[in-house]
Amino acid sequence: MAKSILETMIRAVEEFKISPKMQNLNVEFGQKAFIKNFDLYEGRVARMFLELDLSFLKEEEDDVDAGPSNAIVELAFGPSEPVAEAPEPIRKPEAAESDPAQPFVVPPEVEILE
């Protein structure tokens, strides 16, 4: 019976993880974390550069969002198409010739111009 309850609890948690409610919680947390980090960074900049006027960063009270959006975010996980193709190399890399008895590659001689 305990195993059945455990399996039911695990299944419920897994279903909640993929639910729109959990996705909205993730988005809301991300927004709060971004705003908090922005405020912390703004404070650091203000302390380091006292001569800067950062008043343009403050929002008007009318512009502030009252709460989280009710929109459901669809997160797509899985294989995706590449955005761009990687270019082919122009020339083939040349293999360094080395003697297995030597543990390092000897650099070529350099002609010194005077």
Domain ranges of the chain: 19-56+69-74
What pLDDT digit, counting tens, does each position of 61-102 carry?
Answer: 555 555 656 655 555 555 556 566 666 666 655 555 555 555
Give residues with Cβ within 8 angstroms of 73, minimum separation 6: 20, 23, 24, 27
0.75 surpassed by pTM: no
Of residues 35 and 96, more confidently modeled: 35
In the block, tokens 């380091």 appear at 48
Structural contact between residues 105 and 98, judged by C-beta atoms closer than 8 angstroms: yes
* Residue 29 in this model has a pLDDT that exceeds 60: yes
CA 39 to chain centre: 20
